[in-house]
């Protein structure tokens, strides 16, 4: 059954947001238990469109966690300055938990600039995230510049590569590590030993094979959690990653989400890159709350099952 038919049966409306990816949903209240079949329709929509924006929500932390857990177990964040009341809730805000608009040189604000680079959440984990759920509490006014979240579809980006480039990428792995953000912004406090032990550097294939999509292939890389390609000279690997980053930016692969307060944006980290578009953080408050659903296994590449 097509996801639009499933949505109609579940009593909600599903509309595409762009040719590349994304659908928006209206007519659902996620703060309450969902009628039978609705969650399955949402999960199918996520599988098909990669981003699902459920409009007009009003969610407490507990309600967001309860809905997120329908997708699977949540990731916990060891860094205490990222989280609020519990380790599965990640504050994406330039406002303190007490509601104070933070100065632009506060390290919690600087740390978020790492997310202005193309990335996929938790790529620095051995098992990266399945999906993220970001709830817009305070968003920028529509006339303000920036503050959107932009996505790139890595299936489309992969399929548009020249065959020789795909062959070149096939055997390669990128090195991902949490500490890379400190190289970009050395003014941030050093990564603690707890964090270092929790997420040691890891490698993932640059071509990801998706077993739940009949082995379909996508690109898989980031520019915020490393710049090294395993087995390549540093500069050659950096050149290759820069080339891939320029490639995924083509407008036909991308969708830029303009936030409305009450949006719950759900995205599939396994097949997308995303980035936060920079905004005037001294002028505008931006408060979002993220929960993240853990992946179910390591990233598979073309030779993982050879
Ligand atoms: Fe992110």
Closest-CA residue to 42 (of 60, 29, 59): 29
Residue 139: is it exposed, middle or buried by C-beta count within 10 angstroms (0-12/13-18/19+)? buried
| Residue indicated by tokens 């999509």 | 213
CA 143/CA 183 separation, integer angstroms: 33
Instruction: Note the pLDDT tens digit of each residue in 81-120.
Output: 555 567 899 889 999 988 999 999 998 899 888 999 999 9
How many angstroms is it from 94 CA to the middle of ligand 1? 15
CA distances from 159 to 153, 199, 218, 302 (A): 10, 31, 8, 15
What proportion of the chain, given as a percentage, has pLDDT over 70? 97
How many angstroms is it from 95 CA to the middle of ligand 1? 18
Strand, coil or helix: 173? strand
Instruction: Note the pLDDT tens digit of each residue in 121-171.
Output: 999 999 999 999 999 999 999 999 999 999 999 999 999 999 999 999 999
- Token reading at 71: 């997708």
How many angstroms is it from 149 CA to the middle of ligand 1? 9
Query: To the nearest whole number, what is the mean pLDDT of the chain?
Result: 94
- Token reading at 14: 């599903």
Task: Kindly compute the dihedral angle of the four CA atoms of residues 272, 137, 107, 104, in this order, to the nearest 10 degrees.
Answer: 110
Instruction: Give the contacts of 158 (CB within 8 A, at least 6 positions apart).
Output: 166, 207, 217, 218, 219
How many angstroms is it from 274 CA to the middle of ligand 1? 6
Domain boundaries in the chain? 3-293
247 vs 196, which has greater pLDDT?
A: 247
How many angstroms is it from 268 CA to the middle of ligand 1? 11
How many angstroms is it from 122 CA to the middle of ligand 1? 8
User: At 52, is the pLDDT very low, low, confident or very high (cuts 50, 70, 90)?
Assistant: very high
In this predicted structure, the answer to whether residue 302 has a pLDDT above a threshold of 70 is yes
Q: What is the pTM of this model?
A: 0.95
How many angstroms is it from 34 CA to the middle of ligand 1? 27
The reported pLDDT for the residue numbered 208 is 98
Strand partners, 292: 132
How many angstroms is it from 160 CA to the middle of ligand 1? 24
How many angstroms is it from 39 CA to the middle of ligand 1? 23
State the DSSP code for 74.
B
How many angstroms is it from 282 CA to the middle of ligand 1? 21
In this predicted structure, the answer to whether residue 177 has a pLDDT above a threshold of 90 is yes
How many angstroms is it from 15 CA to the middle of ligand 1? 24
Closest-CA residue to 174 (of 197, 130, 207): 207
CA 78/CA 88 separation, integer angstroms: 9
How many angstroms is it from 195 CA to the middle of ligand 1? 18
Topology of the domain covering 3-293: Double-stranded beta-helix (3.60.130)
Which helix H or strand E contains 152, and what residues bound it?
Answer: strand 149-153
Instruction: Give the contacts of 85 (CB within 8 A, at least 6 positions apart).
Output: 61
Cα radius of gyration (the chain): 19
């Amino acid at each position: 059954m097509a996801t639009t038919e499933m949505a109609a049966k579940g009593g909600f409306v599903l509309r595409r947001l762009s040719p590349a990816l994304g659908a928006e949903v209206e007519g659902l209240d996620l703060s309450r238990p969902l009628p039978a079949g609705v969650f399955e329709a949402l999960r199918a929509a996520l599988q098909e469109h990669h981003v699902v924006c459920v409009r007009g929500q009003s969610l407490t932390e507990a309600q967001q966690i309860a809905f997120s857990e329908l997708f699977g177990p949540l990731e916990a964040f060891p860094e205490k300055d990222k989280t609020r009341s519990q380790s599965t809730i990640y504050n994406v805000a330039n406002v303190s938990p007490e509601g104070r608009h933070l100065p632009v040189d506060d390290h919690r604000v600087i740390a978020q600039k790492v997310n202005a680079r193309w990335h996929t959440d938790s790529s620095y984990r051995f098992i990266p995230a399945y999906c993220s759920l970001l709830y817009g509490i305070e968003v920028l006014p529509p006339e303000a510049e920036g503050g959107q979240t932009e996505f790139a579809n890595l299936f489309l980006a992969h399929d548009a590569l020249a065959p020789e480039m795909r062959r070149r990428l096939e055997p390669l792995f990128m090195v991902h590590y949490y500490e890379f953000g400190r190289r970009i912004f050395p003014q941030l406090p050093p990564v603690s030993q707890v964090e270092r032990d929790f997420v040691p550097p890891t490698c993932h294939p640059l071509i990801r094979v998706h077993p739940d999509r009949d082995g379909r292939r996508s690109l898989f890389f980031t520019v915020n959690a490393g710049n090294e390609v395993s087995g390549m000279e540093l500069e050659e690997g950096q050149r290759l990653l820069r080339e891939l980053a320029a490639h995924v930016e083509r407008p036909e692969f991308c969708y830029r989400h303009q936030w409305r307060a009450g949006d719950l944006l759900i995205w599939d980290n396994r097949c997308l890159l995303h980035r936060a578009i920079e905004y005037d953080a001294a002028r505008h408050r931006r408060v979002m709350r993220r929960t993240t659903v853990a992946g179910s296994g390591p990233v598979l590449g073309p030779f993982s099952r050879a």
